[in-house]
Amino acid sequence: MEKLVVQGSQHLSGTLSISGSKNTALPLMAAAILGGDVSTLSGIPNLKDVRTFARVIGYTGVDVSLNPDLGTATIDASEVTNPEAPYELVKRMRASFYMMGALLGRCGHARVSLPGGCAWGPRPVNLHIDGFRALGAEVELDKGYVTATAPGGRLRGGRFKLTPSSVGATINLMLGASTANGTSIIENAAREPDVVVFGEYLQAMGAHIDGLGTSEVVIEGIPALHAADFANCPDRIELGTFMIAAALCGTPGEPVTLVGGDHTQLGDAFIEAFAATGAETEYGTDAIVVRAPAEIQPVSVETAIYPGFPTDLQAQWTVLMTQAAGNSKITDAVYTDRFKHIPELRRMGLNAIVVDNEVVVEGKTRLSGAYVMSTDLRASVSLVLAGMVAEGETHVQRVYHLDRGYEDLEGKLAAAGVEVKRVSYDEFADPEHEPAHA
Ligand code: UD1
């Protein structure tokens, strides 16, 4: 296995670049299945989740060719021979469930494994299934698989309200509804930029969609979409993570430059909370410049759907708040049990009280380097951030979680002055015999 070894007391300086969005790349790849020909997507990050999804799509007979150097995915969807997504692949990544909508939309039939739980707790797909039923699919659950069929080969369309609003269910239903034999209305639809950019790709493929970016999306089905090339947007969560890193570890008053990101996709709540920490930020068209404050102000946040504070940035925010001039509260209202990073951060000195979905974080905490374990994607990057500000050396183990969603994190941080390296290790080795700098 691999881990990142992070030297503490680091100052971030210089420039960090933002990669293409993971959470948009995946539905773009799913949408290409509807194209019926060759589509090339650009801005596709070199990530484990992207490679996993390429395998999921490849399983159906569609040809996917990833070019990590160019950042492209070329998807030849001329033929779908096997409209199925097996457990062995779906269990690795829940977003594989997008195959349900893509295959229903393309073939009128899909057999997709139910994703299991997630590292931080249950993540249901009931809305996806009920939504497909509302659009006319006959859905059966058997032996861990969901089988859905559109009578006559096309969904008929229909109205469905998402309670709560869901990014994944909105995307999945839009995939299916694009080729329905009627109109579909998704109420309380997700407004996240990932959904909007994905919807713009469907439009580029000929889909008739109104209301993107609002809570009511209307899709007038057409018999088939056509292939199209498309450029992915930058990763807003990576941008937010690097902004937090700059406020946490930048030299106060000195610029850290972030290139290639789009701050308009972060949502107002994050931008306002970030400004309230005292960090100075210049939002230019080509670059975002962040200057760390002399003293980080405590800022309490509560996650919410877009444009609320993103749940995918709350673990990183927790680390920032350990260095604030007072106590703060972080509430996750989207995923109420997403706190697996807390016990690991406690090993580094975090003082926090967790009650239900709230964490009260003590500021001005001296963190110290330790061996810690990644539990999920955002938790693992929070451990790297903690390692950067801690005293001594931090070993962030099971770094494969991080590789799902951060492209070359250690390379980017190293280029901005952080001493961090990737090291192989034996998870079951006697720690007494593991050299400190293995
Ligand atoms: C996506 C993102 C993830 C992010 C999340 C919330 C991808 C690949 N992942 O996940 O990084 O943390 O949005 O912004 O884009 N829910 C149900 N039933 C369902 C589906 C969802 O009750 O069938 C609930 C969930 O438990 C959660 C809420 O809806 O409380 C929002 O989840 P959702 O937006 O669906 O998250 P994902 O699309 O899985």
Report, in this order, helix, strand and coil percent for the chain, each rounded to 5. Answer: 35, 25, 40
CA distance 239 to 268: 14
**Prediction pTM value:** 0.96
* Domain-embedded: residue 438: no
* Domain-embedded: residue 412: yes
pLDDT of residue 432: 58
pLDDT per position as a tens digit, 383-436: 999 999 999 999 999 999 999 999 999 999 999 999 999 999 988 876 655 554
Query: Can you tell me whether residue 108 is helix, strand or coil?
Result: coil
**Residue 395: beta bridge partners?**
5, 371
Q: Are both 14 and 41 inside the same structural domain? A: no
pLDDT per position as a tens digit, 331-350: 999 999 899 999 999 999 99
Q: Are both 55 and 159 inside the same structural domain? A: yes
**DSSP class per residue in 365-433:** ---B--EEE--SHHHHHHHHHHHHHSBSEEEEE-THHHHTT-TTHHHHHHHTT--EEEEE--TTS-GGG
pLDDT per position as a tens digit, 149-162: 999 999 999 999 99
Task: Calculate how far, in angstroms, residue 165's C-alpha sits from the geometric centre of ligand 1.
Answer: 8
Of the candidates 172, 197, 231, which is a domain's last residue?
A: 231
Domain coverage including residue 187: 22-231
Q: Are both 225 and 300 inside the same structural domain? A: no
- The catalytic residues are 118
Q: Are both 413 and 266 inside the same structural domain? A: yes
Q: Are both 169 and 266 inside the same structural domain? A: no
Q: Are both 39 and 113 inside the same structural domain? A: yes
Of the candidates 181, 210, 231, which is a domain's last residue?
A: 231
CA distance 209 to 227: 17
Task: Calculate how far, in angstroms, residue 125's C-alpha sits from the geometric centre of ligand 1.
Answer: 9
In sequence order, what are the residues at sequence separation of 6 or more whose Cβ sits closer than 8 angstroms to the Cβ of residue 275?
A: 281
pLDDT per position as a tens digit, 75-99: 999 999 999 999 999 998 999 999 9
Q: Are both 13 and 35 inside the same structural domain? A: no
Distances from the Cα of 131 to the Cα of 75, 124, 137, 174, 378, angstroms: 27, 13, 9, 10, 29
Q: Are both 249 and 227 inside the same structural domain? A: no
For 108, phi then psi, to 5°, come to 75, 10
Ligand 1 close to Cβ of residue 26 (< 6 A):
yes
Q: Give 123's pLDDT tier (boundaries 50, 70, 90).
A: confident
Among 209, 103, 116, 216, CA closest to 165: 216
Number of domains in the chain: 2
* Domain-embedded: residue 374: yes
Query: Can you tell me whether residue 127 is helix, strand or coil?
Result: helix
Token code pair at residue 16: 């960090």
Ligand 1 close to Cβ of residue 95 (< 6 A):
yes
Q: Are both 410 and 291 inside the same structural domain? A: yes
Q: Provide the CATH number for the domain around residue 110.
A: 3.65.10.10
Ligand 1 close to Cβ of residue 166 (< 6 A):
yes
Task: Calculate how far, in angstroms, residue 23's C-alpha sits from the geometric centre of ligand 1.
Answer: 11
